[in-house]
Amino acid sequence: MKQKNILRLTQIITVLFLLLLSPVYAQNDYVIHLDGGDQFGMVPQSSMNVSTAWTFEAWINVSSFIAADKECIMDRRRVFSFYLIDKGSEAGDYAITFAARDNDDLNIATLRSDGLEGGDTETQMDFNTWYHVAATYDGATAKLYINSTETDTDIDLINWDLTTTTGRGLTIGAKHPLSGPLWVQQMSNTKIDEIRMSDIARAIDDMQTNTTSAPYTSDSNTVFLFDFEDQRVPEPSYVSGVGFTGNADEGSIELDDYVTPGGLALPVELTSFSAQVNHGEVTLNWETATEVSNYGFEVQRTMS
């Protein structure tokens, strides 16, 4: 997930000095926003086989879903599917499943977060909230994570081997049918960011599990990495990583703008800033001349 823009208070005098002499810096980053109706992404290459070790992960923010539709985060026909399911008995709006598929595209092994199968733990997931979701397999044990919490495990030496040869590429936010015309189903009304596929079982410490983590960069175990930073219109190219190119199949696909720290200046002119301390509380006041493409600032106070 993209980092939040953070203005960190260490000492009031220092902050006041810096803000009066410098612009506020941030970098605009993007996530793909699928409408659940006619938008999805495609990675057309069919040679994305992984070995007996893998990791699939993404950040998701679900707006709504229909449980019976099994709306997809990502899917590769006859290989695997990462999709939304109904929640269990606890609070929340939905749950997730990662499933290995056979040649008939039927589930042969599943990891779940609804608490309805032995061994899995129900995890509350709410609409309009960002979650990091990940599935891993090390050749013996498959695991499902939500943020940094392990919600399910499955020991299987055969069914989690995802090296099945298929003529299909990867579909983001939907799935293609097994036959017939080129149309999709199980489309998702979801914002998605930082999709990464790896040919190893990554440890949770090697994953981006909070919203202040830095964006991923490609390494030798990255099969593909979608960071959605190229906002080219009308058909944005959004793949980075190792050797793959993807295109948005729906020309009007939407990329949402999120604010993160970096070396680029926002189009913000700070005209005044003041800070007052009263009985241990700090009150900040500032005015800007213009603000473009900025959702706001998060102010954190730290003691030094």
Ranges of residues in the chain whose predicted pLDDT is under 70 = 1-29, 37-39, 44-48, 164-167, 177-185, 229-270, 288-304
Write down the pLDDT at residue 11. Answer: 35
Write down the pLDDT at residue 24. Answer: 32
Reported pTM? 0.71
Q: Please name the residue that has the structure tokens 């005015």.
A: 287
Write down the pLDDT at residue 84. Answer: 93
Write down the pLDDT at residue 243. Answer: 52
CA–CA distance, 43 with 285 (Å, rounded to integer): 48
Write down the pLDDT at residue 28. Answer: 38
Cross-strand pairs, 76: 80
Domains and CATH numbers, the chain: 3-24+265-290 (no CATH), 31-259 (2.60.120.200)
26-46 confidence digits (pLDDT tens): 333 677 777 776 667 777 666
Let me know: does 225 contact 239? Beta carbons within 8 Å: yes
Cross-strand pairs, 282: 277
**Alpha-carbon torsion (64, 246, 54, 4), positive or negative:** negative
Let me know: does 159 contact 109? Beta carbons within 8 Å: yes
Let me know: does 65 contact 38? Beta carbons within 8 Å: no
Q: Please name the residue that has the structure tokens 């929340």.
A: 92
